[in-house]
C-alpha cells in the first residue's frame, strides 16, 4: 500500500512539474518576441534548465521524480504525443499547394531522405573507425538522422507571401519523417533490435565483417595481379560497402531478407501499404460522417479523433508506418469528411486538434531538453568515442542534406515553370538541418535496453547532443537568417526609428511652411506623407472658418508625433 502511495506521489509531482513548465512555455512563447528564440528552441532551453535544476535539488525531491522527468519514454512519444502533431499537419495542410507541388515534395521527402540515409550510413560504415559502431548501428543511425524537424523554419515562413517555399518545406518535412520511420523499420527487418542491443560493449571496427570475407578467386594468374597499393586498398572500401548492402551480414535468424535488397523491398512494402491504409481509413471516416448527419459537434469531433487515432494504432500494430498512414488519413478527412460536417463540428475539430498538437510539440521539446541531462547515460558513455562521433554526425548532417536537396531542386527547375532561386534552395537546405524528437524516439526505440551499457549509452548520448545542438544553435540562427534572406525586419534598430521620426518632422514642417506661403493663393496643397488630405487654401475673401483652421493647424503640428 505504501508503494502505491509513493508511486502516486511521484506521478503527481512529475506531472505537476511538466504542466507548470508547459504553462510557462505557453505564456513566454507568445510574450517574448526575440529574433533569436523560436517556440521550439525556447521549450528545449527551458527543458535543459529544468533538468539541471532537478539534478541540483534531487536530494529534496521524492525518489523517482528526477528519473521520471529526465528519461525520455519513446512509447509515450510514439503513442500519445506524435499522433496529434501528424493529424493536425494532415488536416491543416493547403491541399492545392501540396498537390500542385506533389512531385517535388515526394522527390525531396522520399528520394532526398533515401540519399541522406545512404550518405550517412555509407560514410559511417566505410570511412570511420568508431569502436562502438557496427554495421547495423551505422544503418540505424543513417535512418535515425534522416528525420528532420522543419517546425522552426515553418514558424518564420509565411504561407501567403511564399506559398511555393512554404508548401515544399511543410510537405517535405512530413514525408521525410514518415520515410525515416519506414527506413528504420526496413533496417529492423534485416537487423532486429535484439542484435543491436547486445550487452557486450567490445565491438570490432565496422569494416571487420567486410574485410574478413574472402575475396573471389581471380581469373588471372598470381604473377599478373597488380600489387596492393594504398589506392587499391582504399578502393576496396567501396566494394565492401556495396557487399554490405547486398549481402546478409549479421542476419543470424536467416529470415530471408538480405542486406540492401531486403531493406529496399521492406521499404517499398511499408510505404505502399501505409499509404493505402491511411487512404482507406480517411474514406471510411468520410462515409460515416455522411451517414450520421445532424449529430452534435462534440460527437463529430469524437468520431473523427478516435477513428483517426485508430488508424495510427492499427498501422503500428501491423508493423506499418503510423506517421504516413495518419497523414494520409488526415488529408482524406480534410478533403471528404470535413465538408460533410456541421460548421460547429468542423470548427471544433480543427480547434481541438490544433490545441492538442501545440501542447504535444511543447511537451516534446521540453522532454528533449530534460533528457539531455540524464546522469545514467552520461556516466556510462565513452567520452573518447562520443565527442568525435558527435562532430562527425553534425558534419554529415550538413553534407547529406545538401546532397539530398540540391539534385531534387535542379530537377524541379527543369520541369516546373516556377523556378526555385538560390535563396529558396538555401532555405530548404537549412530547414532540414534541425533534428527533433523523432530522432530521439527512434534512437531509443532501436538502441535502448533496461541495462544501458557503454555502447548504447555512447550512441544515445551522441544523438541527444546532436539533437540539442541543432535545436538550440541552428534554431536560434533560423529566425535572423530567414529575416536576412527575406529582407524583413520585424524589429528595427533604434537609430532607424529616430531617423524616420526626424524625417517625419521635416516633412510636416515643410508642409506647414507651404501652407503659410500659399495662404492667399487658390492652389491645392499636394498630399503629404503624414496621411493628411490636401487642403484647398483660399484667399482672404474666401477664408476658412476659424474653428476649422485651428483644427487643421493642430493636426498639422501634431502629425510628426
Provide the residue ranges of all domains of the chain, joining segments of one domain with +.
6-213+235-485, 497-558
Element (H, E) at 422: helix 422-431
The fold of the 6-213+235-485 domain, in CATH, is Na+/H+ antiporter like fold (1.20.1530)
Task: Name the DSSP class of 80.
Answer: I
- 493/99 Cα distance (integer angstroms): 41
**CA dihedral angle for residue 190, residue 196, residue 200, residue 206, rounded to 10 degrees:** 70
Closest by Cα among 162, 194, 116, 132 to 435:
116
Residues 56-83 have pLDDT tens digits of 988 888 888 888 888 888 888 889 998 9
What sign does the CA torsion over 159, 90, 472, 128 have? negative
For residue 260, what pLDDT band results from cuts at 50, 70 and 90?
Answer: low
For the segment 224-257, what is each residue's pLDDT rounded down to a tens digit? 333 333 333 333 333 333 333 334 334 444 443 4
Categorize the per-residue pLDDT at 171 as very low, low, confident or very high, splitting at 50, 70 and 90: confident
User: Which range, of 64-73, 194-203, 307-316, 351-360, averages the lowest pLDDT?
Assistant: 194-203
Give the pLDDT confidence score for residue 129 in this predicted structure. Answer: 65
Q: What is the pLDDT of residues 496-531, one digit of tens each?
A: 645 665 676 677 777 776 766 666 554 444 544 444
State residue 32's pLDDT score: 65
- Residue 23 reports pLDDT greater than 90: yes
Residue 466: the pLDDT is 92
Q: What pLDDT shows up at residue 17?
A: 92
Which grid cell sits at 184?
A: 528504420
To which H or E segment does residue 360 belong?
Answer: helix 343-371
Maximum mean pLDDT: which of 37-46, 327-336, 428-437: 327-336
The pLDDT of residue 216 is 42
Cα separation, 137 vs 142, whole angstroms? 8
Distance CA 363, CA 40 (A): 10
Cβ–Cβ < 8 Å for 155, 38 = yes
The predicted model gives 36-58 an average pLDDT of 87
pLDDT of residue 542: 46
| Main-chain dihedrals φ then ψ at residue 536, nearest 5 degrees | -90, 105
* Statement: residue 486 has pLDDT above 60: yes
Q: How far apart are CA 465 and CA 507, in angstroms?
A: 55
**Which comes out higher in pLDDT, residue 69 or 94?**
69
Dihedral sign computed on CA atoms, order 441, 429, 363, 52: positive
How far apart, in whole angstroms, are the C-alpha atoms of residue 287 and residue 426?
43
- Report phi then psi at 524, rounded to 5: -70, 135
3-class secondary-structure state, position 216: coil
Give the per-residue pLDDT at 331: 92
Q: From 508, 517, 522, select the one nearest 553 (Cα to Cα).
A: 508
Average pLDDT, the chain: 76
Residue 33 banded pLDDT, cuts 50, 70, 90: low
What is the per-residue pLDDT for 285? 95
Assigned C-alpha cell, 160: 501567403
Give the mean pLDDT of 357-365: 90
Cα angle, residue 192 at apex, residues 189 and 197 outer, rounded to 5°: 160
The length of the chain, given as a count of residues: 561
State residue 245's pLDDT score.
Answer: 38
pTM of the predicted model, to two decimals?
0.70
Amino acid at each position: 500500500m505504501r508503494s502505491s502511495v509513493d508511486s502516486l506521489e511521484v506521478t503527481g509531482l512529475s506531472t505537476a512539474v511538466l504542466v507548470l513548465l508547459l504553462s510557462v512555455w505557453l505564456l513566454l512563447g507568445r510574450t517574448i518576441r526575440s529574433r533569436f528564440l523560436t517556440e521550439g528552441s525556447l521549450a528545449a532551453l527551458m527543458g535543459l534548465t529544468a533538468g539541471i535544476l532537478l539534478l541540483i535539488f534531487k536530494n529534496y525531491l521524492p525518489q523517482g521524480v528526477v528519473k521520471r522527468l529526465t528519461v525520455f519514454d519513446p512509447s509515450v512519444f510514439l503513442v500519445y504525443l506524435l499522433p496529434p502533431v501528424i493529424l493536425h499537419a494532415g488536416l491543416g495542410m493547403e491541399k492545392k499547394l501540396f498537390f500542385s507541388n506533389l512531385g517535388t515534395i515526394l522527390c525531396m521527402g522520399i528520394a532526398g531522405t533515401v540519399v541522406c540515409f545512404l550518405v550517412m550510413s555509407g560514410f559511417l560504415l566505410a570511412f570511420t573507425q568508431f569502436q562502438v559502431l557496427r554495421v547495423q548501428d551505422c544503418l540505424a543511425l543513417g535512418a535515425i538522422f534522416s528525420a528532420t524537424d522543419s517546425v522552426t523554419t515553418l514558424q518564420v515562413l509565411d504561407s501567403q507571401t511564399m506559398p511555393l517555399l512554404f508548401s515544399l518545406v511543410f510537405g517535405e518535412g512530413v514525408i521525410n519523417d514518415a520515410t525515416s520511420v519506414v527506413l528504420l523499420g526496413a533496417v529492423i527487418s534485416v537487423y532486429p533490435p535484439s542484435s543491436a542491443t547486445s550487452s557486450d560493449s567490445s565491438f570490432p571496427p565496422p569494416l571487420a565483417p567486410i574485410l574478413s570475407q574472402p575475396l573471389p578467386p581471380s581469373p588471372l594468374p598470381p604473377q599478373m595481379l597488380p600489387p596492393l597499393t594504398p589506392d587499391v586498398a582504399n578502393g576496396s572500401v567501396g566494394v565492401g560497402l556495396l557487399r554490405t548492402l547486398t549481402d546478409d551480414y549479421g542476419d543470424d535468424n536467416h529470415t530471408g531478407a538480405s542486406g540492401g535488397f531486403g531493406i529496399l523491398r521492406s521499404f517499398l512494402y511499408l510505404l505502399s501499404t501505409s499509404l493505402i491504409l491511411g487512404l482507406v481509413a480517411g474514406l471510411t471516416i468520410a462515409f460515416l460522417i455522411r451517414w450520421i448527419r445532424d449529430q452534435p459537434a462534440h460527437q463529430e469531433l469524437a468520431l473523427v479523433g478516435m477513428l483517426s487515432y485508430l488508424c495510427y494504432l492499427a498501422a503500428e500494430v501491423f508493423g506499418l508506418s503510423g506517421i504516413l498512414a495518419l497523414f494520409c488519413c488526415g488529408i482524406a478527412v480534410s478533403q471528404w469528411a470535413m465538408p460533410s460536417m456541421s460548421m460547429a463540428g468542423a470548427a471544433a475539430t480543427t480547434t481541438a486538434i490544433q490545441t492538442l498538437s501545440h501542447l504535444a510539440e511543447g511537451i516534446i521539446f521540453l522532454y528533449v531538453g530534460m533528457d539531455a541531462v540524464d546522469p545514467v547515460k552520461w556516466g556510462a558513455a565513452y567520452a573518447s568515442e562520443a565527442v568525435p562521433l558527435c562532430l562527425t554526425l553534425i558534419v554529415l548532417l550538413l553534407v547529406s542534406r545538401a546532397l539530398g536537396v540540391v539534385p531534387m531542386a535542379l530537377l524541379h527547375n527543369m520541369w516546373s515553370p516556377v523556378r526555385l532561386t538560390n535563396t529558396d534552395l538555401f532555405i530548404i537546405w537549412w530547414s532540414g538541418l534541425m533534428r527533433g524528437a523523432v530522432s530521439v524516439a527512434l534512437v531509443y526505440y532501436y538502441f535502448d535496453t533496461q541495462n544501458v551499457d557503454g555502447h548504447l549509452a555512447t550512441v544515445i548520448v551522441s544523438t541527444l547532443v546532436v539533437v540539442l545542438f541543432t535545436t538550440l544553435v541552428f534554431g536560434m540562427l533560423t529566425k535572423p537568417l530567414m529575416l536576412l534572406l527575406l529582407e524583413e525586419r520585424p524589429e528595427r534598430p533604434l537609430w532607424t526609428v529616430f531617423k524616420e521620426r526626424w524625417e517625419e518632422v521635416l516633412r510636416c514642417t515643410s508642409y506647414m511652411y507651404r501652407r503659410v506661403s500659399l495662404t492667399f493663393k487658390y492652389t491645392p496643397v499636394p498630399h503629404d506623407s503624414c496621411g493628411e488630405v490636401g487642403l484647398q487654401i483660399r484667399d482672404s475673401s474666401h477664408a476658412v472658418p476659424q474653428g476649422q483652421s485651428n483644427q487643421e493647424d493642430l493636426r498639422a503640428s501634431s502629425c510628426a508625433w
